[in-house]
Amino acid sequence: MILGFGKNKKTVKELRKNQGLTAKELAEMLKVDTIDILKIDDLQLGDVPEPLRTKIAPVLTGKYMDKIPW
């Protein structure tokens, strides 16, 4: 389970737009096809199938930025 205080209730598209990412950019970051991102765009983050959710959740919540060496 992801602790995000309501992040599971928001749609993937809404979270993606909040991060300023297009579907193509998100797909490139996750190394998946753009069509896979567009298929789950209208789903809530909690409803995304498990293998993809573990890859997509840190990016959509901004946690991936913590690992970038500045």
Q: What pTM does this model have?
A: 0.79
User: What pLDDT score was predicted for residue 4?
Assistant: 54
Q: Alpha-carbon distance 51 to 68, whole Å?
A: 23
Q: Going from the N-terminus, what domains does the chain have, and what CATH number goes with each?
A: 7-64 (1.10.260)
| First-residue to last-residue Cα distance in the chain | 29
Q: Alpha-carbon distance 45 to 10, whole Å?
A: 6
2-6, 22-26, 31-35, 46-50: least confident range: 2-6
pLDDT tier at 1, thresholds 50, 70, 90: very low
Determine contact, residues 32/52, Cβ cutoff 8 Å.
yes
Give, as one character, the DSSP assignment of residue 10. Answer: S
Determine contact, residues 33/26, Cβ cutoff 8 Å.
no
